[in-house]
């Protein structure tokens, strides 16, 4: 089995590669990544010498390059993690989000049609559903919840989802889509909430929290997400959308306080900043479908997962410090300059 994993030098993609190579030692994994600011090749250092792993620096929007790779590798499956994913950046520059997240997805599916594929899997987000009110804890996103996007980022992901499902209906392309709640864990890029707060707290810097920090997110440990995608690839029904959620709803402010306590830092470091434009209040996923059909349940309680995550950042300071300094972007040249 050969699987092309796009965006595999990013947070969730890299964790997925580690999971798959660990669980299926006879699978060949080909990672395609453009290495934008959020793609970090040093993350993949543990598998770079694995004979069943190949890294290719490529933009999913590069049709000629993608077709060439498919011709070389003849993949059985494609898992598309490649996406611009930071909401604040999408508000500043929507165009690049539409380019990568929609047109890049189209290029990948056209390649799948041309060269044949057993499964194309689109990794999406719960943000396509918009948000839920804080005063209705009984409401959850299901696969039937109408799409109602809030940001250019979530709009681009929703557009990609609709395109994927249209390729299934129009061309019979064997596709699946997963929409996941917020992930956390090792190798999370330090601009996101949890790693940013850990890094800033360790450096005694202010901890910037939007608004009053009352926004609620459903948090899922990244390893549990990877296991869910693995299940969908092998057992999921073609043409279906699966919601993946952790039943771990937390207010942003409470997460920041947990991090302060774990690191022995004062809560006086918390600084409230002007809220994000169109900031969603609450996300909450109902994962009943994936549980009933595929038997998946999250295995990691938030209390355990957040401690494991904090410990990982303590043990791997060099990884995130090189990102904060900008040095990580030179890693590709160092790795491949003499290859």
Which range has the worst mean pLDDT, 144-153, 170-179, 230-239, 307-316? Answer: 144-153
Query: Is 129 annotated as catalytic?
Result: no
Percent of the chain beyond pLDDT 90? Answer: 77
Q: Identify the CA nearest to 44 among candidates 33, 59, 60.
A: 33
Q: What pLDDT, in 10s, does the model give residues 64-105?
A: 999 999 999 999 999 999 887 666 677 777 788 888 899 999
Report how far residue 331's alpha carbon sits from residue 37's, in angstroms, rounded to the nearest whole number: 12
Q: What pLDDT, in 10s, does the model give residues 175-212?
A: 999 999 999 999 998 878 999 999 999 999 999 999 89
Catalytic residue among 33, 59, 84, 127: 127
Catalytic residue among 33, 59, 126, 131: 126
Helix axes 317-325, 193-202, angle to 10 degrees: 100
Q: For the chain, how many residues are written?
A: 339
Range 260-268, long-range pairs (CB < 8 A, 24+ positions): 260/201, 260/207, 262/306, 262/307, 262/310, 263/198, 263/201, 263/202, 263/310, 265/201, 265/204
Give the pLDDT of residue 21: 98
Query: Is 230 annotated as catalytic?
Result: no
Which range has the worst mean pLDDT, 190-199, 220-229, 322-331? Answer: 322-331
Per DSSP, the chain holds a count of helices (H) and strands (E) of 13, 12
| Per-residue pLDDT band at 12 (split at 50, 70, 90) | very high
Helix axes 193-202, 302-315, angle to 10 degrees: 50
Give the pLDDT of residue 322: 87
Bridge partners (DSSP) listed for residue 72: none
Q: Identify the CA nearest to 323 among candidates 11, 87, 60, 108.
A: 11
More confident residue, 108 or 331: 108
Are the C-beta atoms of 43 and 319 separated by less than 8 Å? yes
- CB atoms near residue 64 (< 10 Å): 8
The structure's pTM equals 0.93
Q: Mean of the per-residue pLDDT values for the chain?
A: 92
Give the pLDDT of residue 98: 87
Give the pLDDT of residue 10: 94
Q: What is the 3-state secondary structure of 19-80? A: HHHHHCCCCEEEEEECCCCCCCHHHHHHHCCCCCEEEEECCCCCHHHHHHHHHHHCCCEEEE
- Mean pLDDT across 117-129: 96
Query: Is 242 annotated as catalytic?
Result: no
Q: What pLDDT, in 10s, does the model give residues 135-161?
A: 998 999 999 999 999 888 899 999 999
Q: Say whether pLDDT at 231 is over 60.
A: yes
Give the pLDDT of residue 13: 97
| Per-residue pLDDT band at 332 (split at 50, 70, 90) | low
Give the pLDDT of residue 339: 46
Catalytic residue among 33, 120, 129, 153: 153
Q: Say whether pLDDT at 19 is over 80.
A: yes
Sequence-distant (≥ 6) Cβ neighbours of residue 321 within 8 angstroms: none
More confident residue, 270 or 277: 270
Question: For residue 105, what are the CA distances in angstroms to 30, 80, 87, 147, 163?
Answer: 17, 8, 19, 19, 8
Q: How far apart are the first and last CA of the chain?
A: 27
Give the pLDDT of residue 338: 53
Percent of the chain beyond pLDDT 70? Answer: 95
- Mean pLDDT across 318-336: 74
- Mean pLDDT across 228-240: 98
255: tokens are 């997460």
């Amino acid at each position: 089995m050969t699987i092309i994993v796009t965006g595999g030098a990013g947070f969730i993609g890299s964790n997925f590669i580690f999971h798959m190579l660990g669980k299926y030692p006879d699978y060949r994994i080909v990672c395609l990544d453009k290495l934008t600011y959020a793609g970090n090749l040093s993350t993949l250092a543990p598998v770079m010498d694995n004979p069943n792993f190949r890294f290719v620096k490529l933009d999913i929007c590069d049709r000629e390059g993608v077709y060439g790779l498919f011709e070389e590798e003849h993949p059985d499956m494609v898992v598309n993690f490649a996406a611009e994913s930071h909401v604040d950046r999408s508000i500043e520059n929507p165009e690049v989000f539409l380019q990568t997240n929609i047109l890049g997805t189209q290029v990948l599916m056209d390649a799948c049609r041309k060269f044949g594929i057993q499964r194309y899997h689109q990794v999406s987000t719960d943000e396509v559903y918009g948000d839920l009110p804080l005063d209705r804890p009984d409401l959850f996103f299901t696969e039937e919840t109408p799409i109602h996007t809030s940001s250019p980022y979530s709009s681009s992901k929703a557009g990609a989802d609709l395109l994927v499902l249209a390729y299934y209906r129009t061309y019979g392309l064997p596709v699946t889509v997963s929409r996941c709640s917020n992930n956390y864990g090792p190798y999370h890029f330090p601009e996101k909430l949890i790693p940013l707060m850990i890094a800033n707290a360790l450096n005694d810097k202010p901890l910037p929290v939007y608004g009053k920090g009352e926004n609620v997110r459903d948090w899922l440990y990244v390893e549990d997400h990877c296991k869910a995608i693995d299940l969908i690839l092998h057992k999921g029904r073609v043409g279906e959308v699966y919601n993946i959620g952790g039943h771990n709803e937390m207010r942003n402010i409470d997460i920041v306080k947990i991090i302060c306590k774990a690191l022995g830092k004062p809560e006086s470091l918390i600084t409230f900043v002007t809220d994000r434009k169109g900031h969603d209040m609450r996300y909450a996923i109902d994962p009943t479908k994936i549980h009933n059909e595929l038997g998946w349940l999250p295995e990691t309680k938030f209390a355990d997962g957040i401690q494991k995550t904090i410990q990982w950042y303590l043990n791997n300071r060099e990884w995130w410090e090189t990102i904060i300094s900008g040095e990580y972007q030179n890693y590709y040249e160092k790795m491949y300059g003499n290859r």
